[in-house]
Amino acid sequence: MFQKIMNIASLWMLPAILILILTMGLIKKVPIYEVFTEGAKEGFKVSVNIIPYLVAIIVSISMFRASGIIESTGNILSPLLTHFNIPVDVIPVMIVRSLSGSAALGIFSDIAHNLGPNNYATTLAAIMVGSSETTFYILAVYFGAVGISKIRYALLVGLLADFIGIIAAVGICNWIF
């Protein structure tokens, strides 16, 4: 039931927003075509502005992933984590999910296909991937677009929240499944 409502809401949210914006624009006598193109002009500039920040973050994270350090860290941590009932297979997901969204989804897909539907690791990985955004990517794009290079505590807060999310996922998964 909840899922059905959510599916319909997700499908109709976007069209509803568009209808709302355009209708209200016309009612208030805003020249919508003119204003739209004026705003859209910014799209190219903003995207290009992001490039240096994206290059810095994506290149360094690609190097980090290629170095094999994530696997080594996983191996070191695994005795500790199995103690908390965290399956070894899920460890890469925990580390990668703050770094790269597509990689986290890829690893989750591997786990799901290798371990199958009736595995605790699949469920835990699904919850971890489903409940997070890629902190580093968001940081590069959002701050990059306005030229912020001194990020203060933003990354720290993002990573701490990710960490709390991991603990919550493990706790809740242990409790329900």
Which residue's CB is nearer to another protein, number 61 or number 96? 61
Is residue 157 at the binding interface for another protein, with CB under 8 A as the rule? yes
Residues 108-137 touching another protein, rule: CB under 8 A, are: 108-109, 112-113, 116-118, 122-123, 126-135
Residue 107 makes CB contacts below 8 A (sequence gap 6+) with 92, 93, 96, 125
- The CA distances from residue 84 to 148, 160, 161, in Å, are 39, 19, 19
Give the nearest distance from C-beta 80 to another protein in angstroms: 20
- Tallying the residues shown for the chain, one arrives at 177
Among 89, 91, 93, 162, binds another protein (CB under 8 A): 162
**What is the distance between the alpha carbons of residues 121 and 1, in angstroms, rounded to a whole number?**
26
Supply 153's token pair. 């505590």
* DSSP state, residue 85: T
What part of residues 75-94 is at the interface with another protein (CB under 8 A)? none
> What single-letter DSSP state applies at residue 32?
H
Least distance in angstroms from the C-beta of 148 to another protein: 5
How many residues line the site for another protein (CB under 8 A)?
Answer: 100
Residues 43-72 that bind another protein (CB under 8 A): 43-44, 46-48, 50-51, 54-69, 72
Q: Which residues contact 12 (CB under 8 A, 6 or more apart)?
A: none
Site for another protein, residues 2 to 21, rule: CB under 8 A: 2-3, 6-7, 9-10, 13-14, 17-18, 20-21
The rounded distance, in Å, linking the Cα atoms of 30 and 124 is: 49
Q: How far is the CB of 155 from another protein (least distance, A)?
A: 7
Our measurement of the distance from residue 26's CA atom to the centroid of its chain's CA atoms, rounded to an integer in Å, reads 36
Q: Contacting another protein (CB under 8 A), which of 24, 82, 84, 85?
A: 24
